[in-house]
Amino acid sequence: MKSIALFPGSFDPFTAGHLNILGRALTMFDEVVVAIGINQDKKGFFSNEQKMDIISQATKGMKGVRVIEYDGLTVDICKQLEIHHIVRGVRNMLDFENERAIADANRRMAPEIETIIIPTAQEFAHISSSAVRDILKHHGDTSMFVPEGVILPPVK
């Protein structure tokens, strides 16, 4: 039986840190589903189409990666896809505490689904999607913060 994990997030945009977590998750699972969450209350910087394109660029040639978008609770998409593991990345202790709280809530709603928290490699710990968005807004060079080969759409 194939082991599959869900790697959910807004990925606005997908960064080199996200790619690091994904690559490490692929050492534990046969397949990792990168799931772009749709938040009705938030307008993303990038459209979901753009996010799908960015992630596709970043993961080109990687085996065992599937990209989807979903709306609703993460545990519900896990149940729908029959996935029993959620992968989350953390950069620091603040991220960890937040992710642990979410994992605890998910466990209460769906005890059969386990969350695996992976700390990002140190060289990516300073990278956040919000920092990349800020650099883009000010027309800076984001190439050192996004996966090699990814070309972010220009800011209007």
**From CA 156, how far away is CA 152, in angstroms rounded?**
12
Of the residues 18, 51, 88, 133, only one is catalytic, namely 18
Q: List, for residues 85-128, the tens digit of each pLDDT value.
A: 999 999 999 999 999 999 999 999 999 999 999 999 999 999 99
Q: Model-level pTM?
A: 0.94
Catalytic residue among 84, 91, 100, 107: 91
Which entry of 3, 42, 126, 137 is annotated as an active-site residue? 42
List, edge to edge, every strand of the sheet that includes 114-119: 65-71, 31-38, 4-9, 85-90, 114-119
Q: pLDDT digits over 27-61, tens only?
A: 999 999 999 998 777 778 999 999 999 999 999 99
Q: What is the largest CA-CA distance in the chain?
A: 48
User: Catalytic: which of 51, 85, 88, 129?
Assistant: 129
Active site residue 42: yes
Say whether 143 is catalytic: no
Task: State the pLDDT at residue 156.
Answer: 66
Q: Please say if 108 is a catalytic residue.
A: no
Residue 139 among the catalytic residues: no
Average pLDDT over residues 57-73: 96
Residue 51 identity: K
Segment among 10-14, 40-44, 48-52, 131-135 with least mean pLDDT: 40-44
